[in-house]
Every structure is written in structure tokens, then in C-alpha cells.
Amino acid sequence: MTVTQTHATPRREPAVPNWVRPLVIPTPFSVGPVNVYLIEDEPLVLLDTGPNYSVALSSLETALAEHHRQLEEIGLVLLTHQHYDHLGLAATVKARSGAEVAALEPLVAFARDCPASIAAEHEYQARVMEIHGVPEETMRALRQISAAFARFGASVEISRPLRDGDVIELGRRRLRVEHRPGHSPTDTLFVEDEERVAFVGDHLIRHISSNPTIQRPPGGAADPYGRPPALVSYLESMERTFALELDLLLPGHGAPIADHRRLITERTRLHRRRMDRIHRELAAEPRTAHSIACALWDGVALTQALLTLSEVLGHLDLLIAEGRAREVELPTGLGYVAV
């Protein structure tokens, strides 16, 4: 018998435009390196910066030098959202280059006093976790981890607040601002319509699903019982992105995305399947969000407790919106029951 070996054709990566220089910067986080983008135009643009971390700064300087550029040449910094790995070095870049820093308007107050904003964020998340049944010892450990991570963010004055629909005029191209809340309240796309390219931060990542994390509403009420439904917002944001005519998405982590509509369809189906699984968990008995997270991710690492709770709460919000679940009070915290 003859066995014929077949080899799958390697996936052909989409071509990045010659005016974009992807710079891969290390982070100390489990997500791995972050993609920072140098946009060759007038002014010279740096889109996201990497975390406030000496290894990241050294790597950024080396990556710029490989393209015959220096940090001091940057004229404009664009920020896609509020997470440390994306804005941590913005203050350093601004101090050394005198660059203008532009970001979505709700990010201005957050970035102006990053330590206070991060502390408020962590306290808000702790209150939400307490309500939903996360044990006190777990929250104490998470507070310690969060405090250790806070140093990777740094305050920066955003001199150019942006709004959804604004256009950034560069020397040779225009970048349109698209607000996409979900993964964070300040997620922002920068869209170059002529070549159908979008810089999408963590809004879409090819190899992992972006987690709509519990986060304090920027500039709004911080009632943990009235938290914004992050996953509901995220699915609405993906619908808006689905409608865009794009050939290439450049994400904050991992490889470029060539078929955003197929990816969005896959992610939407994934969330639908997970929502149905959580509904089955509730059909057996009323549960807290934390107990559901433990059932779905048995033995999950302590550092992932916030992410798994965020995931479950997002799908519970969807079930409530569809009339398939409702809240109930349980001895161990706020619970949910199938309808």
C-alpha cells in the first residue's frame, strides 16, 4: 500500500502597507508582547507605546533604530485604549520628543492621574467580585497582584481629546476615529479608508478572543450593582466593525487580520455557545457568577479570577437581556436563575 503525504498550504499573511512599521514590544503580562505601530507620515506617528517597563523602552528604542528612527522624532502618539501595555510609555515618549498625545476623550481624565485611576479601577473590580461571590482571600491576593502591576502604567497629559467620528489629518493620509467600547470602555479604532486598513488595538485579536473585562465607567457612576454590560457593548461594537469595508486589521497583539467579517462571525458564535452553556448551568440550580466560573474553568489560576468572572457576567447580561435569566439573592452573593 502506498501512503501519499499531503502538506497543507501555509497561511499567507496579509501584506502590511509600506507606510506602517509594526514594532513588537515585550510586556511582563501573560498576553505576551504588544504590537506598537510606527506610521511614516508627517508628523511621525507612534500608535500605542508598550508598558512603562525598562525592557519595553529599550526594545522600543532598538526597534525604532532598525527603521532609522529615534524616539525624539515622534510627533504624534495615538492611544487605542487605557490598558497599561498600550499607554504605559506615553509619558516617556512625550517627554523625550515633545509629541502631541491624542486619545479618546474619556481616556483624558484616566491618563492624567494614572495611579489614582488604576487604584479606583481595582477597588471597583473588588467590589463587583465581592457582590458575585468571590472569596475574600482570593480578592486579597488579587489586590496584591494588581498593586504590583500598577507600576506599568504612568500618568500622561493627553493634549488632543478625540471623539467618535473625528478625522486625524496627516501629511499624506487621514485616520478616522471609531469608538468601540467592550474590551475596555475606551477602545478606539483608527481607520485609513483609502487603503482599507484599521488599527484596532485589542478590539479584535486573531488568535484569542478579547475579554470584555469588568471596568469602572470612565467619568460616570461607580455603582458595582449598576456596572455597564461590557459583553453586550462588545457585541454591538463588533457589529459596527463588521459593517466597515476593510482589507486589513492591525491588532494590538498577534498577527494581522485579513478577513474581519469571518473572525467576527466566529467570535459571535463562540459567545452564543458559551451563553447557552451557562444557561444550562443555571437550569440545574441558581448559581453565583463566581461558582459558574469555577465550574467552567476548574482550577483556573488565581490571576485569571477577574477575567473568568468578567466572562461569565458578560454572558449573564446577555441571558438577562434575552429574558432567559434573572437575578436572585443567594446566601453566597448575588445569584442568577434560568427563566
Could you tell me if residue 2 is inside a domain? Answer: no
- Which residues on neighbouring strands pair with residue 61, listed in sequence order? none
What is the 3-class SS of the chain, one letter each residue?
A: CCCCCCCCCCCCCCCCCCCEEEEEECCCCCCCCEEEEEECCCCCEEECCCCCCHHHHHHHHHHHHHCCCCHHHCCEEECCCCCHHHHCCHHHHHHHHCCEEEEECCHHHHHHCHHHHHHHHHHHHHHHHHHCCCCHHHHHHHHHHHHHHHHHCCCCCCCEEECCCCEEECCCCEEEEEECCCCCCCCEEEEECCCCEEEEECCCCCCCCCCCCCCCCCCCCCCHHHCCCHHHHHHHHHHHHHCCCCCEEEECCCCCECCHHHHHHHHHHHHHHHHHHHHHHHHHCCEEHHHHHHHHCCCCCHHHHHHHHHHHHHHHHHHHHCCCEEEEEECCEEEEEEC
Closest CA to 74 of 52, 51, 39, 45: 45
Which residue range(s) make up the domain with 178? 20-259
**What is residue 150's predicted lDDT score, i.e. its pLDDT?**
86
Residue 105 has pLDDT above 70, yes or no: yes
Could you tell me if residue 294 is inside a domain? Answer: no
Q: 185-239: per-residue pLDDT in tens?
A: 999 999 999 999 999 999 999 999 998 999 888 775 578 888 889 999 999 999 9
Could you tell me if residue 5 is inside a domain? Answer: no
Residue 26 has pLDDT above 70, yes or no: yes
**What is residue 5's predicted lDDT score, i.e. its pLDDT?**
37
Residues 54-62 have a mean pLDDT of 98
Q: How many CB atoms within 10 Å of residue 320?
A: 16
**Count of domains observed in the chain:** 1
Could you tell me if residue 15 is inside a domain? Answer: no
Cis peptide before 43 (omega within 30 of 0): yes
Residue 137 has pLDDT above 90, yes or no: no
Could you tell me if residue 268 is inside a domain? Answer: no
Could you tell me if residue 321 is inside a domain? Answer: no
Residue 316 has pLDDT above 80, yes or no: yes
Q: Please list, in sequence order, all residues whose beta carbon lies within 8 angstroms of the beta carbon of residue 335, skipping any fewer than 6 positions away.
A: 133, 286, 287, 288, 327, 328, 329
**What is residue 301's predicted lDDT score, i.e. its pLDDT?**
64
**What is residue 1's predicted lDDT score, i.e. its pLDDT?**
27
Residues belonging to the chain: 339
Residue 320 has pLDDT above 90, yes or no: yes
Q: Are 82 and 184 in contact (CB under 8 A)?
A: yes
Position with higher pLDDT, 216 vs 64 = 64
Of 111-115, 116-120, 269-273, give the lowest mean pLDDT range: 116-120
Could you tell me if residue 333 is inside a domain? Answer: no
Q: 9-23: per-residue pLDDT in tens?
A: 455 677 899 999 999
Average pLDDT over the chain, rounded to an integer? 92
Could you tell me if residue 117 is inside a domain? Answer: yes
- CATH code, 121: 3.60.15.10
**What is residue 6's predicted lDDT score, i.e. its pLDDT?**
36
Q: 239-294: per-residue pLDDT in tens?
A: 999 999 999 999 999 999 999 999 999 999 999 999 999 999 999 999 999 999 99
Amino acid symbol at 75: G
Residues 159-164 have a mean pLDDT of 98
Residue 4 has pLDDT above 60, yes or no: no
Pairing of strands 287-288, 325-330: unpaired
The rounded percent of the chain whose pLDDT value lies above 90 is: 76
